[in-house]
Amino acid sequence: MLGQRIRTIGALGTVLLALVAGVLPQFGCEGSRQATRAEAVRLFESGRYSQSLRMAASMHARSSGSERERAALLAGMSDYELGNLDDASSWLLPIVDSRDDEIAGRASATLGLIAAHRADWSGAAIRFSNAGRRLSGEEAAQANFFAGEAYSMLGRTDAARRMYRLAQGGSRDTSRRDQLDHRLNPSSYTVQLGAFSTYTRASVAASDAQSRAVRLGLGTPRVVPSETITSSMLYLVHVGRFTTESQAQSARVQMGSDAVVVASVD
């Protein structure tokens, strides 16, 4: 249940680029080790993830303490970019409880992306919420915003609003605050019946729900294409448009327990 709200993260800049700006480890050391770390980061920034992974893994094997944790963070991010989600999780999970807030927060944020990639919105909400507590400034605001998006996909509107308010209070970015204002004060609501990886499957679901929706006076279900965090397409099935959330909730109950209320985006 991703929706246009996840696609709008792109309005803040490409998700991965936005995260890279904050998640890249801040290496600080002397001599050849410093040069090695700088080269690993440069490789990552230039999209040469296999090479940055090898260098980070090597640094991890030869270091300890916070340096080892930073190497694990870079290795996990590199594996994520390569699509090796299980391997990325293996690097990142041991450092989510780091004493270093930035390392822990950034590891949690990347694990949140992994959960979102798998459409595990409950896991994503938890990871992004944890990241928001450990990070500061715009990084914390962005993590809280993502947590709100994940909660919205679960239909947990109260939890989503709580995270949006946290994000709004911690951000000075005008475009982000405008986006959050729209989340907190949507012009209308709709009932989302499902989210599908193909247009065909979404169309079948819309067709299956049509007779019930029309009989209830909600109109014909519609298929709404949406781009996900990972730039793949998801096809959402929406029905009805309502001026208040309570009206949408009533329609949701009539349509069935799998439906959720979301802000209208089409």
Q: pLDDT tens digits, residue range 63-83?
A: 999 989 999 999 999 999 999
For the ranges 68-82, 125-139, 181-195, 225-239, the lowest mean pLDDT is seen at 225-239
Q: How many CB atoms neighbour CB 206 within 10 A?
A: 22
Structural tokens at position 180 = 């959050």
What's the whole-number average pLDDT of the chain?
Answer: 85
Structural tokens at position 6 = 């996840």
Homologous superfamily of the 189-263 domain (CATH): Sporulation related repeat (3.30.70.1070)
Same topology, domains 4-184 and 189-263? Answer is: no
Helices (H), 48-198: 49-61, 65-81, 85-92, 101-117, 121-134, 137-153, 157-170, 174-184
Query: The pTM is what?
Result: 0.80
| Alpha-carbon distances of 114 from 109, 157, 195, rounded to whole Å | 9, 22, 18
**Which CATH class for the 4-184 domain?**
mainly alpha
Read off the pLDDT band of 208 (50, 70, 90): very high
Distance CA 113, CA 116 (A): 5
Distance CA 78, CA 74 (A): 6
Domain boundaries, the chain: 4-184, 189-263
pLDDT in tens, 161-189: 999 999 999 999 998 898 899 889 988 99
pLDDT in tens, 254-265: 998 689 998 887
pLDDT at 264: 83
Rg over CA atoms, the chain? 20
pLDDT at 14: 38
Tell me the CB-side half-sphere exposure of residue 81, using CA atoms within 13 A: 24
pLDDT at 137: 93
Is residue 195's pLDDT more than 90? Answer: no
Structural tokens at position 150 = 């994940």
Closest Cα partner for 149 from 173, 135, 167?
167
Distance CA 257, CA 243 (A): 21
CB 237 within 8 A of CB 205: yes
pLDDT in tens, 14-42: 344 444 434 454 544 445 666 677 888 89
